Amino acid sequence: MRHLNKTAAIAALAATTALTAGAASAETLTFVSWMKGEPGYGDWWNEVIEKFEAEHEGVEVEMTKVARSEYADTMFTMFAGGTPPDIVHLAAFEYQSFANEGWMETLDPYIEESGLDLEGWAGQDTCVWDGETKCLMLLYTAYILAYNERLLTEAGIEEVPQGWEELLAAAEATTQDTDGDGQTDVYGIGVSSAGGSNMMHDMLHFVLDAGGNWTEDGEPAFDSPGVIEGLRRFKQIYSEGLTPKDAEAGDMRQLLVEGRIAMRLDGPWIYNIIKEAGEETRGDLKLAESPLDPPVGGTSNVIGMPSDIPDDRKALVWDFIEIAASEEMQQRFATLGSSPAPMPGLDYTAEIEADPYFELFETANSKAAAAGVDRLPAGLELEFNEVVKLVFRETQRMLIDDLDPEVAAGNIQAAVERIAD
């Protein structure tokens, strides 16, 4: 992120000029977000703003939208130019670069003085940078199993698989050549192998279940026994032809709704996708807990404040953050966003009545958060884009050249250590 190309920098600077024009009033807090106008989360932000303004007479929050595709570059240029928004909204995987530059205010004194209880707050550990709290986690989601009940039943599988062995057996049983032309046309499981962060997330299911993780105590652990076993499982699924090869996560989701994949481990957003499936498959598609333990979980977006705005503005921004973190607004977050809030202990009775899968999402979130799982490997946040590329390179060698998973894991470890030094 630090090395913007000239075109992106110019575009971001132009956006910055438009955003900050006329927004210097002491009674106005500037706020930039890609969620403005979105159903659900955008509605929630509007309610937070309304409550804040009602409690702070004479103070307004000016919310401006920037497209997600341009967001990181725009925000980086605003900070670098000394004109950051007062209320900082960032993706959980990108705030680290801002914190590393010293641009994010340390929130620990505010948290202590206000008595805000963050015990059990899902994904909050991710907001700690160099031992200091730099943000508040706003969304944490865990993966679940989407499956085609008809395909499992026809293969003689009456229960949702539990554990790796049952998942593998179900994938083998449901992989079929239905028309006898020698080509597989129904796959047991959809796993991305086309590179990118989605491929690493899909691999992480098997790594975590095998007792591993990409990092341990912030240090690369790609050659640990759990990672090696996870790579072996990933390779087995690929080599046995149980998944479409060289396909993206989006391709897998499409094949799932077409009835051509029996199972897919994915985030709760898969629910909206299967609701749009055609009539011939919609009734067959169900959701259940991941058979692998712990489930993959991931932080999504955070809120914080700049370190170089005046103290009186910081006090106002903290009041805004406190309102967003209040029990009232966390409950509204769950209702409006149709997603469990990071605050623990909320009553989801109404949400569960309105959405049959809400309880499943909450259970999955709790399990992943309690295990401290995050898709972004701790300690490699700044290098993650490079790590993704080299993991793909070595995984391709493992799959195409039939490399032993232990050798592939060692190659990844050595490469990651070089870029992390």
Peptide bond into 294 cis (omega under 30): yes
Model confidence pLDDT, tens digit, residues 108-120: 999 999 999 999 9
245/255 Cα distance (integer angstroms) = 13
CA-closest candidate to residue 122, choices 381, 375, 372 = 372
Segment 127-131 long-range contacts (CB within 8 Å, at least 24 positions apart): 127/92, 127/95, 127/302, 127/304, 129/95, 129/96, 129/99, 129/100, 129/104, 130/99
The fraction of the chain above a pLDDT of 70, given in percent, is 94
Model confidence pLDDT, tens digit, residues 288-300: 999 999 999 999 9
Residues paired with 176 in a beta bridge: 186
What is the average pLDDT across 311-319?
97
Dihedral of alpha carbons 180, 184, 185, 187, sign: positive
What is the average pLDDT across 384-405?
96
Where are the domain boundaries for CATH 3.40.190.10 in the chain?
Answer: 6-141+298-370, 142-297+378-420
Model confidence pLDDT, tens digit, residues 65-85: 999 999 999 999 999 999 999
189/131 Cα distance (integer angstroms) = 40
Element (H, E) at 9: helix 6-20
55/319 Cα distance (integer angstroms) = 9
Q: What does the pLDDT read at residue 420?
A: 85
Q: What does the pLDDT read at residue 302?
A: 98
Q: What does the pLDDT read at residue 12?
A: 43
DSSP label at 38? -
3-state helix vs strand vs coil in the chain, percent to 5:
50, 15, 40
Asked whether the predicted pLDDT for residue 320 surpasses 90, the reply is yes
Residue 131: burial class (beta carbons within 10 Å; 0-12, 13-18, 19+): exposed
Is residue 234 within 8 Å of 191, Cβ to Cβ?
Answer: yes
- Asked which of 20-24, 115-119, 210-214, 390-394 is least confident by mean pLDDT, the reply is 20-24
Q: What does the pLDDT read at residue 1?
A: 40
What is the average pLDDT across 331-357?
95
Q: What does the pLDDT read at residue 421?
A: 80
Model confidence pLDDT, tens digit, residues 265-276: 999 999 999 998
252/201 Cα distance (integer angstroms) = 14
Q: In one letter, which amino acid is 70?
A: E
What is the average pLDDT across 305-319?
97
What is the average pLDDT across 174-193?
94
Is residue 287 within 8 Å of 307, Cβ to Cβ?
Answer: no
3-state secondary structure of 91: strand
Asked whether the predicted pLDDT for residue 4 surpasses 90, the reply is no
Q: What does the pLDDT read at residue 23?
A: 40
User: CATH assignment of 142-297+378-420, given 1.20.1070.10, 3.40.80.10, 3.40.190.10, 2.40.50.140?
Assistant: 3.40.190.10
Peptide bond into 340 cis (omega under 30): no
Average pLDDT of the residues of the chain: 93
Q: What does the pLDDT read at residue 2?
A: 39
What is the average pLDDT across 389-393?
96
200/213 Cα distance (integer angstroms) = 11
- Considering only residues 8 and 421, tell me which one the structure prediction assigns the higher pLDDT: 421
CATH topology for the 6-141+298-370 domain? D-Maltodextrin-Binding Protein; domain 2 (3.40.190)
Q: What does the pLDDT read at residue 238?
A: 96
